[in-house]
Amino acid sequence: MNASCQFHGVGQGLYYDCTIRKNPDKDIFRFVYDCGSSSDPDTADLCQQIEKDKSTPKKRLDALFVSHFDTDHVSAIPTLLDVFDVKNVFIPYFSPEELKLFAVLAKGADERLYEFYEDPAAYFKKKGCETLYILHPQRSSPGGSQTRHKSSHQTGDFTLQGNIWEDTNAQPEMDVVHCDGSANATCSRAEWQFRIYQDQKNEVQEATRKKIRGLIPQDQSLEELLKDETLRKNAREMYKTARYKINQSSLVLYHAPLEERGKAWIEPVCRDGCWCRCRCLRRYGGGTLLTGDIGLTRLRNRGADLEKFVGECEQAIGVFLLPHHGAREATSINQLEKMLGPEYPLFVCSYGRENHFGHPDAYMLDQIMMQLHRRVIHVTKGEGFQYEVFVRPKEEHTR
């Protein structure tokens, strides 16, 4: 059993996909985490790359995980949904006012993206998705008479454990399942586990939404809002200060083979396509942690919360995506030491060269090399990173 995973070089953005196999000739499960880039040319290139998989009938994509709704993480999702038959979608909850803000900031993007921002649930239903999982902050729930609380949910692919509220008013064509940000999902067909961390603090969310409501008229349609250039300018200024708070809603995903399958490890594939068996890159930890644009330094207890989350993961983490494209406010060396040490994983940073955000932070990269004695694998336009996850069955351990 093995999995082929890849961070694609898309510039300032993120596109990660993973294909799980039980033998070299049979793909049994494929999923994607984020799919976008910040610039129109890079998004166009990404869409062309995705369209190479176009076929009739559509190829199956078992799951799509969306960390958050910034354009550089979702701009190519409409193309992805046109090319693939997507079965399960996991997204963080965003309020109507936050969705309008994302749409205003994305003006000039693909028209299909506005349909996504206007009503994500309706959009995924239209595209034929079978189940939509909406992740809410921990200790909160959607509530209301249209939901039914339970502790587990079973679909054709996933068994979901956590605080779950099933939408009893959902259309029969697509299940809508609400769950808190500590949900665990297991895919028995692939013998793979997915753990989710998504915990935006309620008071931070509400303060940000109040600012957005004061800026964006909620009684205007999206079409009207997109015509207001002054509004867009003001929205961009507000977002500069509120971005890190909104990014706290990022869905963090840990995935790995089930521990009962055996010990897992990771081996990178060199960029020229050959196997790289260099000991400094091989990792005896079969888990991957994908962090979206979460920030660990500005909110109290955020780093400790994620440290606890990592400590509960069954397989050690072998690949770690630096949060928010390597931004300085996203993490610190002390947090990385507490969370991941002493056997540090491969650090990956996805960003666009000469981006105006200043990503990644050069000091942070230097500190990772000097204090943790690890180099960072750079993923940027035209330069991706691919690795394989292997599992040694438990019965072989005793031989």
According to DSSP H, which parts of the chain are helical? 40-51, 71-74, 77-83, 96-105, 111-118, 120-126, 202-215, 222-226, 229-247, 302-311, 333-340, 362-371, 394-397
Which tens digits make up the pLDDT trace of 34-63? 999 999 999 999 999 999 998 878 899 999
Give me the mean pLDDT over the 185-214 stretch: 82
Which tens digits make up the pLDDT trace of 222-247? 888 888 999 999 998 988 888 877 88
pLDDT bin (cut points 50, 70, 90) of residue 299 is: low
The pLDDT value recorded for residue 143 is 54
Stronger pLDDT, 150 or 82, i.e. the higher one: 82
Residue 30 CA to residue 44 CA, distance in Å, equals 23
Half-sphere exposure of 21 (CA within 13 A, CB side): 13
Residue 284 CA to residue 319 CA, distance in Å, equals 10
pLDDT bin (cut points 50, 70, 90) of residue 365 is: very high
Tell me: pLDDT of 397 over 70. no
Give me the mean pLDDT over the 102-125 stretch: 90
The pLDDT value recorded for residue 68 is 94
Query: What mean pLDDT, rounded, does the chain reach?
Result: 86
pLDDT bin (cut points 50, 70, 90) of residue 92 is: very high
- Of 283, 304, 302, 282, give the one whose Cα is nearest residue 293: 302
pTM, two decimals, is 0.93
The identity of residue 143, as a single letter, is: G
What the block records as the tokens of 375 is: 């180099």
3-state secondary structure of 64: strand
